[in-house]
Amino acid sequence: MEAQEDLQVDLKPETLLEMYWLMVLSRRLDERTWVLHRQGKIAFHISSIGHEAAQVGAAMALRRGQDWVVPYYRDLAMMLALGFTPKEFMLGVMGKKGEPNSGARQMPSHWSIRRLNIVSHSSVVATQAPHASGIALAIKMRGDDAVVLTSIGEGSTAQGEWYEAVNWAAIHRLPVVFMVENNLYAISVRQERQMAVEQVADKAAGLGLPGVTVDGLDAPVVHRAITEAVSRARSGGGPTIVETMVHRMTPHSSDDDDRSYRTREELEALKAQDPLHLQRDKLMDMGVLSQDAEREVQERAKREVEEAVDFATRAPYPEVSEASYPVYAEDRIDD
């Protein structure tokens, strides 16, 4: 990992506070969703906890609604930073009518928001990468100045699709950033069993593009790395791999029990380096965040999360008659 100086000072206090707010909002929403799952009120949750700093730092380096984002399932904090709302998220986890990602057809956390240029992805990992390169090719052919950011876990960079997408983007110098959220695990499989190199960024040399590894627990550090990659992409310099080192502080998903493959000591050590606490302490040391402001941030997050839960709880389920729309054409011929 590159040595990182303290970048907090490069950003305006309001930007640092916005980053912190988004991280807190995501965390409270995420934790509340685990509770709903354990209460038997929802069927599934996959968590962003420990990845928030990397995701918020990355999202804030983009032009919201103009650049394109092809994310993956762990990107709740990124989605909130791009303008997705807690109410929209809760409609999704509860499978309610009006859920914007897929009309309550897809699994939760399979983001797709037209107004924000966030493109639907598959549960099949790494398939988002060729989509990102394809969108970047279209941008280049049209002469637009948008860029594409696609994100992925480190384990999924072992998939053929990822290599093909990165290789192709490098050949054609496409305006795309390949962000990697490296939490060292692909469900239960440690990084050493996924790849023979030390870092995903090391793969860049063999594909002919720049690759960097940065501290994903530090939002301003990620913000700078993604900003540099975005400006290279926007100015015709081609793609970059930006690998962010993060902590998966929960089991893989609500269907997983990580006690079977990692010790509680390992988990406690990760939790001691919680990106939310690191950011809070830095902002307090800098005098950007006061105790009162911190209390207000926490109260506001709690309020917005509870409003979202109430809203989605009261929302109806989709009508049965909506089930096939828009999967099949309206005027299909029945036999």
Q: Of the listed pieces 48-56, 147-155, 277-285, 321-329, which binds Mg ion according to CB under 5 A? A: 147-155
Kindly identify the residues of this chain, within the stretch 152-171, that bind Mg ion according to CB under 5 A. Answer: 153-155
252 is catalytic: yes
Phi-psi region of 316 (alpha: psi -120 to 50; beta: other; left: phi over 0): beta
261 is catalytic: yes
Taking CB under 6 A as the criterion, the residue among 107, 171, 187, 270 binding ligand TPP is: 187
By the 8 A CB rule, do 162 and 152 touch? yes
72 is catalytic: no
Write each residue from 200 to 239 as x if it is in contact with ligand TPP (CB under 6 A), else as -, in one continuous string: ----------------------------------------
Q: What angle do CA 188, 194, 196 make, to 5 degrees?
A: 145
Write each residue from 243 to 262 as x if it is in contact with ligand TPP (CB under 6 A), else as -, in one continuous string: -----x---x----------
Taking CB under 6 A as the criterion, the residue among 165, 176, 185, 233 binding ligand TPP is: 185
Burial class (CB in 10 A: 0-12, 13-18, 19+), 222: buried
The DSSP-derived string for 177-188 is EEEEEE-SEETT
Nearest to 145 by CA among 63, 210, 37: 63
Taking CB under 6 A as the criterion, the residue among 11, 165, 186, 305 binding ligand TPP is: 186
Host H or E run for residue 15: helix 13-38
Residue 30 interacts with which of Mg ion, ligand TPP, none, CB < 5 to 8 Å by class? none
Least distance from C-beta 48 to ligand TPP, angstroms? 9
> Cα dist. 210→63, 127, 184, 234 in Å?
22, 22, 21, 15
Nearest residue (beta carbon) to ligand TPP: 153
Q: Does 195 bind ligand TPP (CB under 6 A)?
A: no
Q: Does 111 bind ligand TPP (CB under 6 A)?
A: no
Beta-bridge partner residues of 180: 152, 243
Nearest residue (beta carbon) to Mg ion: 153
Q: Of the listed pieces 51-59, 101-109, 151-159, 269-277, which binds Mg ion according to CB under 5 A? A: 151-159
DSSP state of 212: E
Q: Of the listed pieces 5-13, 58-66, 77-85, 151-159, which binds ligand TPP according to CB under 6 A? A: 151-159
Q: Does 156 bind ligand TPP (CB under 6 A)?
A: yes
Which of residues 55 and 101 has its CB atom nearest to ligand TPP in the complex? 55
By the 8 A CB rule, do 119 and 112 touch? yes
> Cα dist. 82→87, 117, 119, 219 in Å?
14, 10, 13, 15
Give the span between the Cα atoms of 213 and 241, in whole angstroms: 8
Q: Single out the catalytic residue among 121, 223, 248, 280.
A: 248
Q: Around 284, how many Cα atoms within 13 Å sit in the side-chain half-sphere?
A: 12
Q: Does 170 bind ligand TPP (CB under 6 A)?
A: no
Give the span between the Cα atoms of 220 and 58, in whole angstroms: 9
> Active-site residue numbers?
248, 252, 261
Question: Which stretches of the chain bind ligand TPP, using CB under 6 A?
Answer: 74, 123-125, 153-156, 159, 181, 183, 185-187, 248, 252
Question: Which stretches of the chain bind Mg ion, using CB under 5 A?
Answer: 153-155, 183, 185
